[in-house]
């Protein structure tokens, strides 16, 4: 289904005013601020339109995959229907039904994952709208007005994009993170039982993740060394931090995570994805949009905060902190066992599976 593009916002206001002096300068400054707001709105309109088109296309693809699974199951049952009067035929029919049920589950899981990704993108775009014209501390925006006295010049309006405080993530607060968990408007932390350690987040696999406020995620790049050799050392430290000491378990995680690191970032700790559906929102301290995927395993700030490992840095680019948060997320979201024995079920970490994100 084709979607109509968002309507035009019309001409931008004139930034020039008649006369001179402080009043005229104030008018010009406020006009420039309004122009910035209008341009930012247009950018978010375009991003939202793109997100909606992607969601519609994803829904259509999911429906197509499910229709194909159903058609294959019906054909398989019909083809074996005449042979079910024998034990071998009955066993073949049961095996076929089991296989198609597994295909159905896989298709539904993929559709759910796609929906969560598009929901996160919509949250980030909505947060971008909310941030336009609002100061970083969340106070109500000042309405442009002409100064009443010549000695009271007008300010230049709220800065857009880079005007937010370095390291803050207020556009993501009051929303939901990629895991679909509520985020507190006041702290940016995950609320409810999912915010806990063993009593909540990832309890089934014993992760010790404890959510931190999204606004406390550090986005400053530190220039950590990259490459496969450096990441093998980072993985060793991450596994130590997680308390995973069994050699077999460490080998499971190392094998899978090295595959994921190569695919996600090419072993670059400072990698930022500026093209996926999460790359929306105000420009942050590192110059990237608020919701962009960052670091070696490309976590978004909300996911990093929700799955933060106690005892690690709050810097999303810190390889050990980035890896441990991703491990906690994998254990919770995909039910990967603590020993990493089933990590290969997540295709992005399976060297024998085509790349596909996670």
pLDDT for the residue numbered 125: 60
Rounded CA separation 279/286 (Å): 13
Residue 148 has pLDDT above 60, yes or no: no
Tell whether the model's pLDDT for residue 156 goes beyond 80: no
Residues 27-72: pLDDT tens digits?
Answer: 666 666 676 667 667 766 776 777 677 777 777 777 777 777 777 7
Residue 336: which pLDDT band, with cuts at 50, 70 and 90? very high
- Read off the pLDDT band of 195 (50, 70, 90): very low
pLDDT digits (tens, 9 = 90+) for 251-268: 999 999 999 999 999 999
Mean pLDDT of 108-123: 62
**What string of DSSP letters covers 52-102?**
HHHHHHHHHHHHHHHHHHHHHHHHHHHHHGGGTTSHHHHHHHHHHHHHHHH
Domain segments of the chain: what residues?
1-163, 169-358
More confident residue, 282 or 184: 282
User: How much is the pLDDT for 95?
Assistant: 76
pTM, entire model: 0.47
Residue that has been written with the tokens 């206001």 in this structure? 13
What pLDDT shows up at residue 86? 75
Residue with tokens 């106070």: 139
What was the pLDDT predicted at 66? 74
């Amino acid at each position: 289904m084709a979607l109509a593009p968002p309507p035009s916002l019309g001409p931008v206001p004139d930034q020039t005013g008649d006369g001179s002096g402080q009043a005229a300068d104030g008018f010009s400054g406020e006009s420039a601020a309004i122009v910035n707001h209008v341009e930012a709105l247009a950018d978010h309109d375009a991003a939202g339109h793109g997100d909606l088109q992607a969601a519609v296309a994803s829904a259509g693809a999911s429906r197509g995959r499910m229709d194909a699974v159903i058609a294959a199951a019906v054909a398989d049952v019909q083809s074996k229907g005449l042979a079910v009067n024998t034990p071998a035929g009955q066993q073949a029919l049961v095996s076929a039904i089991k296989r198609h049920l597994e295909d159905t589950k896989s298709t539904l899981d993929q559709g759910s994952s796609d929906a969560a990704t598009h929901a996160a993108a919509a949250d980030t775009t909505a947060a971008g709208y909310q941030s336009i014209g609002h100061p970083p501390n969340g106070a109500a925006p000042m309405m442009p007005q002409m100064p009443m006295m010549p000695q009271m010049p007008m300010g230049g309006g709220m800065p857009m994009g880079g005007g937010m405080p370095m390291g803050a993530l207020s556009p993501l607060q009051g929303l939901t993170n990629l895991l679909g968990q509520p985020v507190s408007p006041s702290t940016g932390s995950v609320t409810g039982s999912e915010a806990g350690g063993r009593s909540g987040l990832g309890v089934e696999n014993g992760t010790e993740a404890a959510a931190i406020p999204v606004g406390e995620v550090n986005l400053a790049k530190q220039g950590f060394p990259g490459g496969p050799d450096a990441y093998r050392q980072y993985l060793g430290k991450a596994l130590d931090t997680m308390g995973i000491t069994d050699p077999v378990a460490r080998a499971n995680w190392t094998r899978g995570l090295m595959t994921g690191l190569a695919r996600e970032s090419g072993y670059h700790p400072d990698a930022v994805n500026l093209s996926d559906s999460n790359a929306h929102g105000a420009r942050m301290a590192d110059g990237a949009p608020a919701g962009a995927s960052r670091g070696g395993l490309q976590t978004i700030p909300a996911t990093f905060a929700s799955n933060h490992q106690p005892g690690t840095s709050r810097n999303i680019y810190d390889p050990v902190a980035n890896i441990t948060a991703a491990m906690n997320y994998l254990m919770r979201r995909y039910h990967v066992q603590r020993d990493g024995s089933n990590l290969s079920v997540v295709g992005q970490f399976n060297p024998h599976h085509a790349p596909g994100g996670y």
